[in-house]
Amino acid sequence: MKKYLILFFVLLPALGFSQPPNCNVYLYNKDTVQYEVCKSIENVPFYQYTKEFQEEFDKAIKKCPHFAFGYQAKATAYLKSGDFLTWKYLIDKAVEYDTLPYIGYRGWCKYQFFRDYEGAIKDIEFAEKRFGILNAGYSAAGDYHLTMAKAMCYSALGDKQKAIRIMENLFTVTDYVVGLFDYYQLAVTYFQVNDLNNATKYLDKQTAINDLAENRFYKAKIAKINGNSASFEKEKSEAIRLYNTQKILFDPYTEHLNKVYLNTIAQEQYAN
């Protein structure tokens, strides 16, 4: 029981790492100083960008210099404002003082905000080794598993075959729940290596779980390659319709890998 309790507390931040930690974990580990500062910031009523928020967390860190969550919380506004220098200093402190809950998160942020593919892969692989693939963690918004993110990094670096192997392998992991955009990302990777059969297979799977304008755009491209003009027009038209109803790859902070824009869809012609 004790083992499972420890595992629960260790995994909790890794699975929902943008959330404040459960302060009881510190008490359980007899770290009363960290428990007290954790309690003191539980309901900080300020927006993370504000000076008041930063000062509250500075006070907590002053009382407990190894309060890893404090550094992560302070880092968030710098991340969102694109200040990679300050963000990296702060998030490295969080990872230094409590590696496991924050290293996967750091890896995701390196990918999402700074397209640092190599840095992201390194951090995610560390998390995978310690937690196993299934429990490596998720992106900050929860829409990608970190192993999926790692595969996307390899894809962006040009190693498409490795990306495909990682994604296919992930889908075979027991209890893995396929993400909202997983099939699309795999389909596009197959498309990029001219494996149109597998691309079509996964575009169809994506349509079944979460249809997207981008998904239909690639279906149209395949229809064009296959010389099927009626299918091309149908898929293109559906892509535009979905785009106009906001059924698209979207994130309020950054852009998804393999995002396709409305103008790109509209300009795609059967003849060109």
Partner 1 sequence: MGHSFYILLIFLLTTISCKSQQLTEKSAYIKSVGDIAHDKTLDKKEFYLCDAENIIQYHNDYQGLQYKGEKIALVNTFSKKYVPTNQEEDSGLIRIRFVVNCKGETDRFRLIAMDNDYKGKNFGKKVTRQLISICKSLDGWIPKKLDGRAVDYYQYLIFKIKNGQIIEIMP
Give residues in contact with partner 1 (CB under 8 A).
Answer: 47-51, 54-55, 58, 77-78, 80-85, 88, 113-116, 250-255, 261-264
For partner 1, the closer of residues 4 and 47 by Cβ is: 47
For partner 1, the closer of residues 55 and 204 by Cβ is: 55
For partner 1, the closer of residues 227 and 252 by Cβ is: 252
Burial of 106-135, coded b for 16+ CB within 10 Å and e otherwise, reads bbbbbbbbbebbebbbbbbbbbbeebebeb
CB of 9 to partner 1, least distance (A): 30
For partner 1, the closer of residues 25 and 124 by Cβ is: 124
CB of 75 to partner 1, least distance (A): 10
For partner 1, the closer of residues 83 and 233 by Cβ is: 83
The residues, any chain, with a CB within 8 Å of residue 200's CB and separated by 6 or more, are 187, 219, 222
For partner 1, the closer of residues 77 and 203 by Cβ is: 77
Nearest to 134 by CA among 105, 172, 162: 172
Exposure on the CB side of residue 75, measured as CA atoms within 13 A: 24
d(CA 255, CA 237): 23
CB of 130 to partner 1, least distance (A): 23
> CB–CB of 236/268 below 8 Å?
yes
DSSP at 176: P
CB of 84 to partner 1, least distance (A): 6
d(CA 211, CA 61): 45
CB of 102 to partner 1, least distance (A): 16
CB of 111 to partner 1, least distance (A): 11
In the structure encoding, which two tokens stand for residue 135, read together? Answer: 């429990």
d(CA 88, CA 82): 11
> CB–CB of 86/72 below 8 Å?
no
